[in-house]
Structure 1
Amino acid sequence: MISVARSVTAVCALGAALAACGTAGTPGPARPDHTKPAASPSATRPPELAPGPGGLAQVFEHGPRTLGKTVALTFDADMTADQGPRAAAGEHFDNPDLIGTLRALKVPATIFMTGRWAEQYPAQARSLGHDPQFEVANHSYSHYAFTADCYGLPTVAPDQVRGEVERAYAAIRKAGVPHPLPYFRFPGGCYDREALRALSGVGVTAVQWDVVSGDAFATDADAVVRDVLDGVKPGSVVVMHCTRSAAPTTERVVRTVVPQLRKQGYRFVKVSELIGETNGHR
């Protein structure tokens, strides 16, 4: 369930155009612009994974397989730093219908949000951050890759890794999310040992997945549904995207997948619950 240091070629087609999710809310006062990851929505800090050998950040991929049928749906809000003009021109890097469906179906979820997306959609970021059904985590500021050759994404230099993570936390809090979690997802899912070493000093747990939905740029919702249903096991983490421009089928997929998994006895949880279960059964 945990991978410590290995080169990963991400298994979902994430390009620089991938983007995000949200639902409108009324913006409130921004919290102080601290860069240290904050506590969870509860009064206590959420569960994390201790650093691995050599102090490298550990990578969480799925929860225990033997503690019942739990599954975490995760949604990446990956807007790149240079996509502002496209958003201004009317491209949708959000998906309010998807978030509305998750709320209607009472499905908790974890949103991995880029700082750039939070700046573009502050009211939606705040609404997610104040809704106990969701937890918001870090997906970098710019959605630039932490390794070379990652789906054509621009690359972050090793000495800029900490700044990317901290700048994202600052932007997310400024948008009105009071307690972003100390979890981080690599843009494009791409990382290597050097990226884990650079991340180790930031104080976050890297979170990947074990089920690729295939929703990125997909036009066939039925195919995505099959990929999810075929891949889910107890403790699974499913990666999806909440954007109308680059993942247009996701809301339909959720409306189909959720009742079918519930019929199979699955219970939907947030990533933090799976990590907590992992800490107690390692």
Structure 2
Amino acid sequence: MVSQGSPAGNRIALTFDSNMTAGMLAKLARNPKISYANTRVLDVLDRDNAPATFFLASLWVQQYPAVTRRIAADSRFEIASHSYTHRGFTKTCYDLGTLPPNQMAADVERSFDILKPYGGHQTRYFRFPGGCYDKTALESIAAAGCTVIQYSVVADDPFNHNINSIENNVLSKAKPGAIVVMHITEANAPDTDKALPAIIAGLRKRGLQLVTLSDLLSQK
């Protein structure tokens, strides 16, 4: 199953990806003052009582265990997988490299194993790094027994310093049943938290109810 969102009453799901590649880890080693964990996003969601689903790359989890624990401890949040190494599951996926098909299921399963001890609202949802997948990738991860989740609304927040653009990218396409994708990787998406309050307020003004992905899918 690959879900990209579909009509479900007036519900809409905010999802956040945490990316972490070997290259990003190398940047952290060279410059420990940077961060790929935007905890201000969590602050906004907490303040505005907004549910969300987090697709966490396990290299990110291992780098930021305290932030992962904070996410897991919040009853409004749920946890999903964004792979272990965040390498591409297709031959071409941005600059992520390529994970061999015979390693794909193990990578996904390892990511769930790393997430499990954190508790909270665990799911078996999985989102491909970069959103890139094909028939081979789907067949290769079938043994992991997960549900692949894509998205229907792209905030385009990575490397985007235009807050109004991020807001408009979401609000112009939002509709019942939509799955919105944003990021909590601060160094790569530094202004997501600044756009988020207006996004939440704008969605609610339209009568859309913010829910977790599980709640959204259960209404289909």
In the superposition, the TM-score normalised over structure 2's length comes to 0.95
Q: Is it true that 1:271 corresponds to 2:213 in the alignment?
A: yes
The partner residue of 2:192 within 216, 225, 250 is: 250
Task: Note the C-alpha offset of 1:201.
Answer: 1.4
RMSD over aligned CA atoms reads 1.3
Give the alignment partner of residue 173 of structure 1, picking from 116, 123, 131. 116
Cα distance in structure 1, aligned partners of 2:159 and 2:23 = 19
1:101 shift after superposition: 0.6
Amino acid at match of 1:130: A
Matches of 2:119 and 2:37, distance apart in 1: 16
Q: Extract unaligned runs of 5+ from structure 2.
A: none
How far 1:124 moved relative to its partner?
A: 1.0
Find runs of 4+ consecutive structure 1 residues off by over 4 angstroms: none
Q: CA deviation at 1:105?
A: 0.4
Q: 2:204 aligns with which of 253, 257, 262?
A: 262
Match for residue 15 of structure 2 among 70, 74, 84:
74
- 1:140 maps onto 2:83 in alignment: yes
Decide whether aligned partners of structure 1 residues 215 and 243 sit closer, same or farther in structure 2, where only a CA change above 3 A counts: same
**Structure 2 CA distance, aligned partners of 1:263 and 1:232?**
12
- Structure 1 gaps of 5+ residues are 1-57
Deviation at residue 173 of structure 1 after TM alignment: 2.9
Contact 2:105/2:140 (8 A) holds in 1: yes
Cα deviation for residue 82 of structure 1 reads 4.2
**Aligned residue-pair number:** 218
1:275–1:150 Cα change, 3 Å: same
3-state SS, counterpart of residue 159 of structure 1: helix
Q: Which amino acid aligns with 1:240?
A: M
Distance 2:111 2:23 in 1: 15
CA deviation profile, 1:197-245 (whole Å, cap 9, x unmatched): 1121111000000011111110101011111111111110001001211
1:84 counterpart = 2:25: yes
Q: Deviations over 1:58-105 (max 9, x none)?
A: 100003x2x422110100011113432322422211011111110100
SS at 1:132's partner residue? coil
Structure with the greater alpha carbon radius of gyration: 1
TM-score by length of 1: 0.74
User: Aligned ranges for residues 1-282 of structure 1 at < 5 Å?
Assistant: 58-63=1-6, 65=7, 67-88=8-29, 89-90=31-32, 91-174=34-117, 176-177=118-119, 179-278=121-220
Amino acid at match of 1:73: L
Asked if the contact 2:75/2:120 (under 8 Å) is kept, the reply is no
Structure that is richer in helix per residue: 2
